[in-house]
């Protein structure tokens, strides 16, 4: 069974968008993962196909109605569906490569994209939605966040990128940022490739890269080293 992603959204036309391009899109064409979208509005029950209502207690904006969203979730992921149910949300746990790796090893994900002010809390609780944030800023909707999440997941699915080692060394995989890369020409605007990289000494190259990774991480993201 390949990784199966189901998106619940008010803007299904946004998909696959960037997920249809390059290696991610090819992975889908090759059957390594699949994507389906469900239009939340299809679950509205009134003539106007209403999905939102004013916030209880007052305030700006609109809130997605719990009954409509629950019906959509239950249709997409009936009881017994093993996939985690995720809600894209700025209040969620910040997404990490570790969570991405776990999700990539699983059966797929059901992803709810919020819009407006947010979502009635009762459906988040009742359907045990895992809230995931893609960063400390506020987007207009969950769709771009869902694409970020899926792109990060899908590139880890075996066969999507070329060799398995393509991501072994990458930023965050070992709790550090990646070392700098170089390629020809040998001199670019008067700057040479670091000599160690053209020395042919693989042990020395590995140690240099490790030291560069550590120095970069200490300088830019000391928080990544905190737990060590
Ligand atoms: N009023 C909310 C923001 C609503 S933004 C608040 O202050 O927390 C509308 C929708 O965009 C959200 O329901 C969510 O699905 C999505 N969204 C916005 N920012 C996001 C982020 N940083 N990460 C993931 N999803 C986000």
Between the CA of 194 and the centroid of ligand 1 the distance, in Å, is 43
Q: How far apart are CA 86 and CA 43, in angstroms?
A: 19
Q: Which atom of ligand 1 is nearest to the CA of 137?
A: 22
**Which pLDDT tens digit goes with each residue over 16-27?**
999 999 999 999
Mean per-residue pLDDT over the chain, rounded: 96
pLDDT at 114: 98
Instruction: Say if CB 148 and CB 13 are below 8 A apart.
Output: no
Most informative mutation of 14, 113, 139 for ligand 1 (most atoms within 8 A of CB): 139
Q: Which atom of ligand 1 is nearest to the CA of 138?
A: 19
pLDDT at 164: 58
For the chain, what percent of residues have pLDDT higher than 70? 98
Listed in sequence order, the residues at least 6 apart from 22 whose beta carbon sits closer than 8 Å to its beta carbon are: none
Confidence of residue 173 (pLDDT cuts 50, 70, 90): confident
Binding-site residues, ligand 1, Cβ < 6 A: 88-91, 113-115, 117-118, 133-135, 137-139, 141-142, 145
Average of per-residue pLDDT across 147-164: 93
Partners of residue 112 on adjacent β-strands:
8, 87
- pTM higher than 0.75 for the full model? yes
**Which pLDDT tens digit goes with each residue over 61-88?**
999 999 999 999 999 999 999 999 999 9
The helix (run of H) or strand (run of E) holding residue 172 is none
Q: How far apart are CA 207 and CA 196, in angstroms?
A: 10
Average of per-residue pLDDT across 152-177: 86
- Look at residue 9 and give its three-state secondary structure: strand
Which domains, ranges and CATH numbers included, belong to the chain?
3-154 (3.40.1280.10), 169-225 (1.10.1270.20)
Average of per-residue pLDDT across 88-98: 98
Average of per-residue pLDDT across 140-160: 98
Q: How far apart are CA 163 and CA 48, in angstroms?
A: 51
**Which pLDDT tens digit goes with each residue over 179-194?**
999 999 999 999 999 9
Between the CA of 16 and the centroid of ligand 1 the distance, in Å, is 20
Q: In this predicted model, which residue has the larger pLDDT, 188 or 166?
A: 188
Confidence of residue 174 (pLDDT cuts 50, 70, 90): confident
Instruction: Say if CB 98 and CB 43 are below 8 A apart.
Output: no
Average of per-residue pLDDT across 76-105: 98
Most informative mutation of 145, 147, 148, 149 for ligand 1 (most atoms within 8 A of CB): 145
Confidence of residue 227 (pLDDT cuts 50, 70, 90): low
């Amino acid at each position: 069974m390949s990784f199966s992603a189901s998106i619940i959204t008010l803007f299904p036309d946004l998909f696959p968008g960037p997920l249809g391009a390059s290696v991610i899109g090819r992975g889908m064409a090759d059957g390594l993962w699949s994507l389906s979208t469900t239009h939340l509005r299809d679950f509205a029950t009134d003539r106007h196909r209403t999905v939102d209502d004013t916030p209880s207690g007052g305030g700006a904006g609109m809130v997605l109605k719990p009954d409509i969203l629950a019906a959509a979730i239950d249709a997409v992921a009936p009881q017994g569906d093993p996939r985690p149910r995720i809600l894209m949300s700025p209040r969620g746990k910040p997404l990490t490569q570790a969570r991405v790796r776990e999700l990539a090893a699983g059966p797929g994900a059901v992803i709810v994209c919020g819009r407006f002010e947010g979502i009635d809390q009762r459906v988040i609780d009742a359907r045990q939605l895992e809230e995931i944030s893609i960063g400390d800023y506020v987007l207009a909707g969950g769709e771009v966040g869902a694409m970020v999440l899926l792109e990060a997941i899908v590139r880890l699915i075996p066969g999507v990128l070329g060799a398995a080692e393509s991501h072994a060394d990458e930023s965050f995989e070992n709790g550090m940022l990646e070392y700098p890369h170089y390629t020809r020409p040998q001199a670019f605007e008067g700057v040479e490739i670091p000599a160690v990289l053209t020395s042919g000494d693989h042990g020395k190259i590995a140690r240099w890269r490790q030291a560069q990774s550590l120095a970069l991480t200490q300088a830019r993201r000391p928080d990544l080293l905190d737990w060590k």
